[in-house]
């Protein structure tokens, strides 16, 4: 399952899943280097930052902002 970190609230990361559901994950279960906006791959082996998906998401968000503000 892939989730994107929206924000942190106390001991939890508030994430959005692929099917647009809100998922709360304990910060202690996350990699220590995790940031808002990171895409996580969660499977039976644990939780890992998917660097490629994170970079692609950030690039897409940047393109959308450029299109919105530069018309």
Alpha-carbon span 33 to 5, nearest angstrom: 13
Q: pLDDT tens for residues 14-48? A: 999 999 999 999 999 999 999 999 999 999 999 99
pTM across the whole model: 0.86
Domains and CATH numbers, the chain: 2-69 (2.40.50)
Q: Compute CA distances 9 → 15, 28, 62, whole Å.
A: 11, 13, 25
CA 11/CA 44 separation, integer angstroms: 22
pLDDT tens profile 50-70 = 999 999 999 999 999 999 888
H helix intervals, the chain? 51-69
């Amino acid at each position: 399952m892939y989730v994107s970190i929206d924000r942190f609230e106390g001991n939890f990361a508030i994430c959005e899943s692929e099917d647009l559901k809100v998922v709360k994950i304990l910060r202690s279960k996350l990699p220590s280097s995790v940031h808002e906006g990171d895409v996580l791959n969660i499977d039976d082996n644990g939780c890992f930052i998917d660097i490629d998906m994170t970079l692609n998401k950030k690039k897409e968000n940047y393109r959308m902002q450029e299109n919105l503000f530069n018309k």
